[in-house]
């Protein structure tokens, strides 16, 4: 993994992620990148890793409970919404920007795995566990942080599952 892009001064949302990571005992540092990390491809280019090593965060809206469902998938994988629905025991739908911000406190393109306003249901793509290191969003479309797949599971208490679309 590459340490390029680390800055001492963080935007408020990224600082919130850094503080949450510290509270959870994670030693990784949030990095603000000069270019966008909104998409998996942009994030991989910014940090110098493969797209597979990007832990992309996708928020769904559970139906009928209206809970946020955070799916953290390898950047190269598409998410099978039927598998996600079966895993949580209720249907899911797309979450719009207002829902995402209202439930997580973060904007689409910067949703981190931790630090949400309302704790979501968390599912983690089992394909991430085959990697030695990954990068996750850190609160803004320009901020990321490094971690291991095992740390991701520990930090989120997420359920590891097969969520990849065939």
For all residues of the chain together, what is the average pLDDT?
Answer: 94
pLDDT at 7 over 90: no
Q: What is the pLDDT of residue 55?
A: 98
Task: Give me 33's structure tokens.
Answer: 């990148």
User: Model confidence at 164, in pLDDT bands (50, 70, 90)?
Assistant: very high
**pLDDT above 90 as % of the chain:** 93
What domains, with CATH codes, occur in the chain? 12-161 (3.90.960.10)
| Residue (of 27, 28, 38, 57) closest to 122 by Cα position | 57
pLDDT at 4 over 50: no
29-45: average pLDDT: 95
134-159: average pLDDT: 97
Please give the angle made by the CA atoms of 96, 97 and 99, to the nearest 5 degrees: 70
Do residues 29 and 145 touch, judged by C-beta distance below 8 A?
Answer: yes
Q: What is the pLDDT of residue 1?
A: 39
What are phi and psi for residue 73, nearest 5 degrees? -120, 155
Q: What is the pLDDT of residues 65-105, one digit of tens each?
A: 999 999 999 999 999 999 999 999 999 999 999 999 999 99
SS3 content of the chain, % helix, strand, coil (to 5): 30, 25, 45
């Amino acid at each position: 993994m590459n340490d390029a892009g680390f800055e001492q001064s963080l935007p408020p949302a990224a600082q919130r992620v850094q503080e949450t990571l510290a509270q959870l005992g994670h030693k990784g540092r949030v990095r603000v990148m000069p270019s966008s990390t909104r998409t998996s491809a942009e994030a991989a280019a910014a940090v110098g890793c493969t797209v597979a090593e990007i832990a992309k965060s996708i928020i769904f809206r559970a139906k009928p409970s209206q809970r946020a469902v955070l799916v953290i998938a390898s950047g190269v994988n598409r998410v099978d919404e039927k598998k996600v629905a079966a895993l949580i025991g209720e249907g899911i739908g797309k979450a719009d920007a207002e829902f995402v911000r209202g439930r997580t406190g973060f904007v689409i393109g910067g949703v981190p795995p931790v630090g949400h306003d309302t704790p979501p249901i968390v599912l983690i793509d089992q394909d991430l566990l085959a990697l030695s290191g990954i990068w996750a969003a850190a609160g803004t479309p320009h901020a990321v942080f490094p971690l291991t797949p095992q740390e991701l599971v520990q930090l989120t208490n997420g359920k590891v599952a097969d969520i990849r679309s065939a």
